[in-house]
Amino acid sequence: MRKIDLENYKRRALLEAFKDRDIPFLSVTAHVDITHLKQFIDENRYGFFVSISFLISKAVNLVPEFRHRIIGGELFEFEQVDPGYTVLLDDKTFSFCDSRHFDGFEEYRIYANEKIKAVRECPDHSTGEKHHMFFITNLPWFSFTSITHPHDKKYSSIPVISLGKFFEQNGSIVIPIGIQVHHGLVDGIHIGEFYEHLSTMCRMPSVGLR
C-alpha cells in the first residue's frame, strides 16, 4: 500500500467534511441484471455466490477509491483489496471468512471454496487487521431495497457489499446489491463506476469469469 499525500489529495476538503461525523457512510442499493450470468453459471455448474463474489471483487478493485483506507488518521491506497464473506452455519449463525482476490476465476474459485469449507468446520469470529479487505454479506432469503450495516469507526472506510435474493422482473433475472462506503472517500460517481463494471461483467460472463 502507499500513503496518499493529503496536500495533493483532490478530495481533501470532502474527507475533512465527513471523516468525523457520527455516520460518515453512504448506503445505496441497485438492481443488477444477472440473466446471462445465471445461465452461464448453471451451464458450467459453478456455485452462484463464489461466481458473483469474484465479479464483485474484480469490480471493487477496478475503482481506486474503493481501495482507499483511513488508518490511524492517515490515508492509504492499497494496490489490491481482498474480499471477506459471511458464511451461514448449520446452527443458523454465521462465520466470517477472509478470502483473497485473484485475477483468474479458477484460482479464486478453488481458494474461496476451500476457505468457506474451513470456516464451516471451524467458525471464525475474529476482528483482527482488516484494512486490506472489503466485505460481502450474502442474504439470499429475501430481496431488499435498502440496507445499512453496523458502524465501526476503526473500519469505517471499508466498503460493505450486500447480496439479496434474485428474482424475475420483466423477463430478466435481477439481484439487489447494496453498498455501504465512507463518503469522505467515495462519492456517487465512484459507486456508479462499480455498478457499471459489475453489470458489464454480468452481461458477458464468459469474459468476466475467466
Residue 166, pLDDT > 90, answer yes
How much is the average pLDDT of 124-149?
A: 94
For residues 210 and 205, give the distance between their C-alpha atoms in angstroms, rounded to a whole number: 8
pLDDT at 153 over 90: no
Confidence of residue 29 (pLDDT cuts 50, 70, 90): very high
Which of 72-76, 117-121, 152-156 has the weakest average pLDDT?
152-156
Pairing of strands 167-169, 160-163: unpaired
What domains are there in the chain, each with its CATH number? 2-208 (3.30.559.10)
- Grid cell 454479506 is found at 137
Q: Quick check: 174 and 7 in contact, CB under 8 A?
A: no
Residue 140 — very low, low, confident or very high, per pLDDT cuts 50/70/90?
very high
Res. 128 pLDDT band, cuts 50 70 90? confident
pLDDT band at 34; cut points 50, 70, 90: very high
Q: What pLDDT band is residue 57 in, cutting at 50, 70 and 90?
A: very high
Q: How many C-beta atoms surround the C-beta of residue 153 within 10 A?
A: 11
Task: Find the range with the poorest average confidence among 10-19, 149-158, 199-208.
Answer: 149-158
| pLDDT band (50, 70, 90) for residue 181 | very high
Residue 152 is predicted with a pLDDT of 82
